[in-house]
Every structure is written in C-alpha cells, then in structure tokens.
Amino acid sequence: MNQTTTSRQGPARVLGALALERSPGSGIGRDAIAQADAGALAALVAADLAGFAPEAAGLDCTLVAAHFDPVELLRPGWPLHQELWQLAAKAPRAPGGGARILAFGSHEGQLPGALSPAPEHADGPLRLLPFVLDGDAAVVARVSARFEADLMEEGMAGAGTALAAQEAFGMRVEHARYLTVHDLCAMTAMQYEHAGLEALWPLLETALLSPAREAWMDAPPEPLLHYAGGGQVRMALFAPAAWHAHYAPGASAEDGDAASLARLERLYAHFEARQRQLASLLRAHGLAVEFIHCRDDARAELAALPAR
C-alpha cells in the first residue's frame, strides 16, 4: 500500500499522525492546545519528520494540536486530514516563501472547521494528532516511500516532542511515535483480529482504501453485511424464523425440545447484540448502516438493491 494520496485540485499529500500511547489508568487534562502554543509542538513534529526523511523539510507540514481516537481518522475519504489540508490551503503564503509549518489549535475553547475531537471517543488508550505533508509531487513520493518502508519500525518521536505533548495535553505518555494512515490501518487490523472482529476488517479496509468498490462480510454465524460503495453498509435483518432458516437449518425438527429451542433463542439474542455492536463500530468509522429485512436468499436480496 502507498500512503500518498492525490487530489485533483491539489498536490500529492502524505497523511499521518503523531500517536500518543497513554499510560494505563492515566487521565487526560485537555483534548486541544491553545493556538498560541500549537506552533511550538508543530515545529517539533516537523523536525522529527525531517529526521526520518530529510526531504520532508521541503514540504509544508500541517498539524492539528488536538488528539483523536483511531476511528476518527480511519474514515472513508480521510475527512480529518482533508479538513486539515483545506484549512492549510487557505492560509496565506509569503511571496517566495519556502515550506511552511502550520498548526491549528483552539481559540476561546474552539478548534477551527471540523477539527474538534468527538467526546464519545475521548478516553481511548491511543490518541492521535493528525498531520499532512504536501508540496512538490516528486518530493512527496520520495518521502512517502521512505515513511512507508521505515516509519512503523523506526518512527519514535523525539524525547522533546513526547515531553512537550505530555505536558501540553496533561496526560502520561508511555510511547510517542509516528504512523502513516496505512500503518494505522495495519495496527487496527491486528487489534480487531485480537478482539474477534477479523471478519469485519476486509469490508472496512475496502471502504477506506477502495471506497468505490463493494465488499461483503459473509462469515456465518456472523451477521451478513454488504458494503455497496459510497460509504453505505447494508446489514441483513432477520425475523427469528428467517434467522433459524439461514443460520440454523433443521431447527424446526427440534421444535419439541425445549432445551434446544431455548439455546436457539439465546443464539438469536447474541446475533442481534452482535448486529448492534457491528453497526455501532461501522458508524464510528463514518459509515452509514442500513438494516434490510431479508427472507430467503439474503445475499441475493442485498446484492439486488440499487446503489445509493
């Protein structure tokens, strides 16, 4: 995978984040730095990135001095990074000036544009400060290749950067490192596998990296999901009888067995809870979820629906 993204209206860009791993049990003092103090942290980040790839010093480095949960970054179209880049594009550039270091912090408690972290995701163990590098496409491509090869293994933040972030946000930082968005995808895929969500990741990955394509989650006894492109996921919704037919064929032969029927009822309740869990996670990743009542061939019924 290549973490360089290209806009038809602008230059190629490298999308990444400063990742702060909180010490277990520690709190967070604040979710954003005041604008007056944000520039100092951005300068430290830019210096670190230039240390990994010297040509990065020739690119604009734009940082939001606020921290987010991974689900807020891993959304189709990379909306946080896109918002950050669009705000940077509006900032004045000195005539004949070189690469810029831009930081967006809070003013009177408010962050600009759509850069405010969501309160419902504020307490996760990994907090991310998004950054964008952009400029000459050839330079971006070389920096991107270097980051792709080395940043996951060698991207520890400088001690001064880690300490500055710790003090600025009022949190105890156990590790501070740099990640590209694709490094973050790889890390999240492993976390979801450990959490028993490995069947969902290929669908999520398609939505993130190939959003115009379609993908399925079809791994019984898991719910049936269809990513139809355009940020839309359809989930098959079954009445109890239809669920029995789809996931427990032959159950009707045990209708007289009270213990077997009670077990099927528990499995169906678990299935419904799993549907709610997956729908909540998909929505956290910025995907719309539509429940579709299905009867017979659920996959064919989902596939036949028109794209939105």
Same domain, 218 and 184: no
DSSP 8-state symbol, 121: G
Same domain, 65 and 42: yes
pLDDT in tens, 69-107: 999 999 999 999 999 999 999 988 877 778 999 999 999
H-type alpha helices, the chain: 35-52, 70-73, 79-90, 137-154, 159-169, 181-194, 201-209, 240-247, 258-284, 298-303
Task: Report which of residues 6 and 259 the model is more confident about.
Answer: 259
Same domain, 47 and 28: yes
Average pLDDT, the chain: 90
CA distance 170 to 92: 32
Residue 87 CA neighbour count, 13 Å, CB half: 22
Percent of the chain residues past pLDDT 90, beyond the cut: 77
CA distance 257 to 175: 55
Same domain, 64 and 188: yes
Tell whether 308 is covered by a domain. Answer: no
**Contact call for residues 269 and 276 (beta carbons, < 8 A):** no
Boundary residue ending a domain (166, 194, 222) = 194
Same domain, 177 and 232: no
Domain ranges, residue 41:
4-194
Boundary residue ending a domain (171, 194, 217) = 194
pLDDT in tens, 128-184: 999 999 999 999 999 999 999 999 999 999 999 999 999 999 999 999 999 999 999
Sign of CA dihedral 149, 20, 208, 221: positive
Pairing of strands 215-217, 225-227: antiparallel
Question: What is the predicted pLDDT for the residue at 252?
Answer: 54
Backbone φ/ψ region at 298: left (φ over 0), alpha (ψ -120 to 50), beta: alpha
Same domain, 127 and 190: yes
CA distance 292 to 171: 43
176: which strand partners?
Answer: 20
Instruction: With CA atoms as reference, report the closest residue to 20 among 62, 67, 82.
Output: 67
Triad 13, 209, 42: Cα angle to 5°: 35
Tell whether 129 is covered by a domain. Answer: yes
Same domain, 129 and 209: no
Same domain, 75 and 145: yes
Same domain, 250 and 168: no
Count the domains in the chain. 2
Tell whether 210 is covered by a domain. Answer: yes
Tell whether 87 is covered by a domain. Answer: yes
Same domain, 77 and 49: yes
pLDDT in tens, 251-291: 554 555 777 778 888 888 999 999 999 999 999 999 999 99
Residue 5 in this model has a pLDDT that exceeds 60: no
State the pTM of this model: 0.90
Same domain, 189 and 211: no
Boundary residue ending a domain (147, 168, 194) = 194
pLDDT in tens, 45-77: 999 999 999 999 999 999 999 999 999 999 999
Question: Which amino acid type is present at position 93?
Answer: R
Same domain, 178 and 105: yes
